[in-house]
Structure 1
């Protein structure tokens, strides 16, 4: 059981790191079309991580969701009723955080404000 839990934790951590790196790579070209991206950056397999690599609002919100899931799992069997409060609390915490300065969209901000 301990080995399976450690492997699950490593897989979750790896997934979050991969998401953050992908988000940082995509940030500079987020609203560009594919031809523009290729003209600017070249083939995607050769794109270097930007300096600095930005943590975006998408990554921040994903980490808030992950913390909510972790908190819910620490309280017992994961289910909708057990998940709702910790995830809500994490999104509200993100909404009020001074680090929430990465130009999140109005839909995200409104939804989080309504959770408060």
Structure 2
């Protein structure tokens, strides 16, 4: 059966949900310049809870988009890095970031007009 993101149980929809998730997009973009530690990711994404960061990192790792490397040092050090599959998302993620920053004013105007009419 051909993948179809519109089909309720299609695995491609699960992938779309993963890569379209706000936290996933931000994590992928933060890892664009190379490996980062958990604390650097947490500092880089305002508003993400430790639980959500951990869940998102695990999901991205499970889907093959990033690797988790534990270094045998005291205290333990863990680095996260994009895999080649994760790196293949960078152009798309950068385009989403640019679009959102370019069009935020238009969105805010539309929201204000909608709210005023409601």
The answer, yes or no, to whether TM exceeds 0.5 is no
TM-score, scaled to structure 1 = 0.26
TM-score, scaled to structure 2 = 0.26
Higher strand proportion: 2
Higher helix proportion: 1
